Structure 1
Amino acid sequence: MSVNAKVVIVGCGISGIAAAHRLVNAGFQHVQILEATARSGGRIKTGTLGDNIVEIGAHWIHGPTEENPVFCLARQYGLLDPETLTPENQGVDVEVSPHQASNFFSSSGRKLNAEDVYPAEEMFYELIYESSKFESQGGEPWACVGDFIRSKAEQRVAEKWKDIDAATRCLRLCVISNMLKVECCFNGAHSMDEVGLGAYGLYKTLPGQDCTFPGGYEGLIKNLMSELPRDLVTYNRPVRCVHWNNTEKEENSLMIECDDEKKIAADHVIVTVPLGYLKKHHSTLFSPPLPLHKLHSVERLGFGTTNVIYVEFDSPWWDADCENIYLVWEDEDGIVDQVPDIQRSWIKKLFGFTVLKPTERYGHVLCGWIAGHESEYMETLSEQEVAHTMTQLIRRFTGNPTVTPRRVLRSQWFHDPWTCGSYSYPGKGCSVQDLENMMEPLPTDGSLLQPLQVLFAGEATHTCYFSTVHGALLTGWREADRLISHYSSSSNSKPLKSNTDV
């Protein structure tokens, strides 16, 4: 099939690249990507810490199995470690897998015993599992996940731990607070009070032990880009406005206006900008504005910030087999996942670290995780201030006044003007209908002469894989397939002639 329709893709992240791949391979002759920055990849971004390759953006392939197209592509390009490709690794059920080797440290400078911690972990993960079931039950007796967890945790603590001494019970509640902060990072939310209980179970987990790219996630982008025509992407070309549904004038019904005043006529545009950018700029990005039902869905879906802070050491202060380090604050009242004074206490939102493995490759490097407004505030500090705060934090929790990081590196996704945060989550009052509204093409009126003028892709437009790279990739394919199907039928074999010229 050879198609002369002109398709413009806004954004050269994984969803935009995936859409371009699909269209070019299907015979579309005029595909163009407009990218606001000087690079491809979007929220896939690999950096360096000293001699180490580290991820500034996306970290893992979530669920490395045949169902995951990112895994399949990475395997095809030879980007993964051999152990990742084994049937045993692909068969791991992450929802019932045993505890990873973890170290817990308290703010009083002591390492906690497993028996002090595991009962709290077990209770918390039971509550998280129960939280995910309300979507299928069709009920929402609590407004948000945070309310549900606090309410149920207090009830079960009173029932199950009534014979436990007060100090141990208090410590376990602090562990639950730490787990709640972990969940904030997983969801990209400031607080689990902002995550809707009714839609929390929409996210689908794929089997397989999450894995990383030894050479960096950007290796996937480089391989995909190498298979596209060299001149397909125009970099440093932000889009100011998508003028669509222009039926009253004789000129093109779809026109993309760029920041440099350049205007590009097209038959179709696939918009792949992050939800955070859409939330901030939708009123000027589309003319006419988005339909009200789509706009309401943009508002109901959540989009928050999760940042990483890498910390490198000359020698480890954690166990050799440790996978994760958790920092438990003992001075917090109740079960909390946010701090009252962000400027003074932002560091209390950092729940802990992932230990980069294998040690032979990374040396002694930890990846710290912090979400929410505290994470956004961290971005405003100098690297020296962040390094000093991290040093004081680690000295306090280890009880070792001499431990000193060799170097520190952090991400800053909230203040990136083209992302405005990290990834999406189902907000309060959100439902699967909102995710379906997000992917709905414009115009919605089938009687108009030219359908599918504006299509939407990106992780926030997938109904069950939102917030993931594979979700973003699948949505790029989905919108490309929508156009391919449109032109495959004999009645739609030709685009409107006036829309094919730049």
Structure 2
Amino acid sequence: MGHLYYRLIDQSREFLHAAEAPVPSVGEFLKKEIRQHLASWTEDEETKKLKLAILKNFLNIECCVSGTHSMDLVALAPFGEYTVLPGLDCTFPGGYQGLTNCILASLPQDVMVFNKPVKTIHWNGSFQEAESPGEKFPVLVECEDGDCFPAHHVVLTVPLGFLKEHLDTFFQPPLPAEKAEAIRKMGFGTNNKVFLEFEEPFWEPDCEHIQVVWEDTSPLEDSAPPLQDAWVKKLIGFLVLPSFKSAHVLCGFIAGLESEFMETLSDEEVLLSLTRMLRRVTGNPQLPAPKSVLRSRWHSAPYSRGSYSYVAVGSTGDDIDLLAQPLPADREKAQLQVLFAGEATHRTFYSTTHGALLSGWREADRLIALLDPQAQLHGPRL
């Protein structure tokens, strides 16, 4: 089933330069192809149901990869534009803080201000600062605590989910209509991790991942049982993390509305539900419960409101480029003021850390070129 599924996914990336996509979404394309394959299967009904259940798990995996509730929400035509960066995943020592610490090391002391949530970015204005009498600033960053920072340029890197939620209040004057529309059309969903720690592993020593397949599910059925009854069925399975000192940890992934529902539950409720699930899938009703649970809550985070972006039905890569364009749009009349970076502004690496990093370098280069047209820039990266 894996070979079939990944062949279909590869096919879904082939409509980028086609005159027209056969259906609007990746999900619809995959289901259409699966129905055609199903018609040629010769196994008994139970085997067919199991094969469909396995394909449903692969579809749930794709939801985690794309950060969406359903692949029916992901646009088919631009799906092939996303580019997979070659090489292995990188784990930073000390977590992502290790990356930002490395970047911060090159900056002077005391130039960073933390815990200052921004309420409004005022742009296309003429603001003054007490320390710079006579100088005018086109941008004023107003914080939630009332503090204000006048600036010549602002690089904005907030997640797309935050922009979607605060679009009507975060910019003054409001964003140009076409940029605001691009933000509304682009996709932004939730993919959470759930870590379970066990006293002793119940899996084999060479086991690397545990895939969970529910026999009563199918990619061709759109029934949506109540979330409280069925949220665990969206969990795709677990990665077995390398043992560290006597810690035995599984890392599960879950996307979409089920993932957002999980965020509303207590740790005890999540632990109980996943213990029941593991006892059922292992066939061992006496399987010891995990001793602890740790999980992300990206949708609940007020400054994220989800995990990362995708190209939704009704949008294209052009919307990503439109979001990435600085303000004001007409720089013949006014200087560069608000620059946009973050994963959702990178056309081929959206949803990734490297996309976010590259977009930041892109905007830094834009400012450097503005301030010093003769500067030797690094040029296009990747």
Summarize the Cα distance change of 1:145–1:334 in structure 2 as closer, same or farther, 3 Å threshold. Answer: closer
Distance 1:455 1:197 in 2: 29
Structure 1 residue aligned with 2:74: 195
Distance 2:165 2:94 in 1: 34
Structure 2 residue aligned with 1:417: 302
Distance 2:17 2:239 in 1: 32
Distance 1:468 1:382 in 2: 29
Task: Give the Å deviation of 1:214.
Answer: 5.2
Structure 2 residue aligned with 1:222: 101
- Provide the secondary structure at the position in 2 that maps to 1:284: coil
Task: Give the Å deviation of 1:240.
Answer: 1.0
Counterpart among 157, 161, 174 of residue 38 in structure 2: 157
Distance 1:199 1:187 in 2: 13
- Provide the secondary structure at the position in 1 that maps to 2:51: helix
Within 5 Å, give how 1:10-409 maps onto structure 2.
Answer: 120-159=1-40, 161=41, 163-213=42-92, 215-246=94-125, 252-335=137-220, 339-357=224-242, 359-360=243-244, 363-403=247-287, 404-409=289-294
Task: Give the Å deviation of 1:362.
Answer: 7.0
Distance 2:93 2:202 in 1: 24
Code of the aligned partner of 1:213: F
Distance 1:211 1:262 in 2: 38
Query: 1:339·1:348 contact (CA, 8 Å) conserved in 2?
Result: no
Deviations 1:415-450 (A, max 9, x none): 1101101111111122121111010000001331x3
Query: 2:52·2:218 contact (CA, 8 Å) conserved in 1?
Result: no
Distance 1:439 1:368 in 2: 33
Summarize the Cα distance change of 1:291–1:441 in structure 2 as closer, same or farther, 3 Å threshold. Answer: same
Provide structure 1 residue ranges, at least 5 long, that are not aligned to the other structure.
1-119, 491-502
Deviations 1:194-249 (A, max 9, x none): 11111211110122232423543322222222222221211111111111112799
Distance 2:340 2:223 in 1: 33
Summarize the Cα distance change of 1:215–1:420 in structure 2 as closer, same or farther, 3 Å threshold. Answer: same
Deviations 1:243-284 (A, max 9, x none): 111279996422111111122211111111000000000111
Structure 2 residue aligned with 1:480: 364
CA RMSD of aligned residues (A): 2.0
Task: Tell me the TM-score normalised to structure 1 length.
Answer: 0.70
- Provide the secondary structure at the position in 1 that maps to 2:212: strand
The structure whose RCO (Cα within 8 Å, separation 6+) is larger is: 1
Code of the aligned partner of 1:410: R
Distance 2:219 2:57 in 1: 11
Structure 1 residue aligned with 2:329: 444
Distance 1:418 1:222 in 2: 21
Summarize the Cα distance change of 1:241–1:126 in structure 2 as closer, same or farther, 3 Å threshold. Answer: same
Distance 1:165 1:175 in 2: 16
After the TM superposition, list the runs of 4 or more consecutive aligned residues in structure 1 that deviate by more than 6 angstroms.
247-250
Deviations 1:2-47 (A, max 9, x none): xxxxxxxxxxxxxxxxxxxxxxxxxxxxxxxxxxxxxxxxxxxxxx
Moved more, 208-217 or 469-478: 208-217
Moved more, 402-411 or 338-347: 338-347
Distance 2:69 2:357 in 1: 26
Counterpart among 468, 476, 481 of residue 352 in structure 2: 468
Structure 1 residue aligned with 2:131: none
Query: 1:425·1:467 contact (CA, 8 Å) conserved in 2?
Result: yes
Distance 2:123 2:155 in 1: 12
Summarize the Cα distance change of 1:248–1:383 in structure 2 as closer, same or farther, 3 Å threshold. Answer: closer
Distance 1:328 1:252 in 2: 58
Code of the aligned partner of 1:467: S
Summarize the Cα distance change of 1:212–1:263 in structure 2 as closer, same or farther, 3 Å threshold. Answer: closer
Deviations 1:31-83 (A, max 9, x none): xxxxxxxxxxxxxxxxxxxxxxxxxxxxxxxxxxxxxxxxxxxxxxxxxxxxx
Task: Give the Å deviation of 1:355.
Answer: 1.1
Counterpart among 312, 316, 319 of residue 434 in structure 1: 319
Moved more, 204-213 or 382-391: 204-213
- Provide the secondary structure at the position in 2 that maps to 1:393: helix
Code of the aligned partner of 2:32: S
Distance 1:247 1:215 in 2: 43
Query: 2:82·2:348 contact (CA, 8 Å) conserved in 1?
Result: yes
Provide structure 2 residue ranges, at least 5 long, that are not aligned to the other structure.
129-134, 375-382
Distance 2:336 2:23 in 1: 38
Query: 1:244·1:286 contact (CA, 8 Å) conserved in 2?
Result: yes
Distance 1:362 1:136 in 2: 52
Distance 2:150 2:182 in 1: 28
Task: Give the Å deviation of 1:314.
Answer: 2.4
Query: 2:55·2:219 contact (CA, 8 Å) conserved in 1?
Result: no
Counterpart among 337, 340, 346 of residue 456 in structure 1: 340
Query: 1:338·1:349 contact (CA, 8 Å) conserved in 2?
Result: no
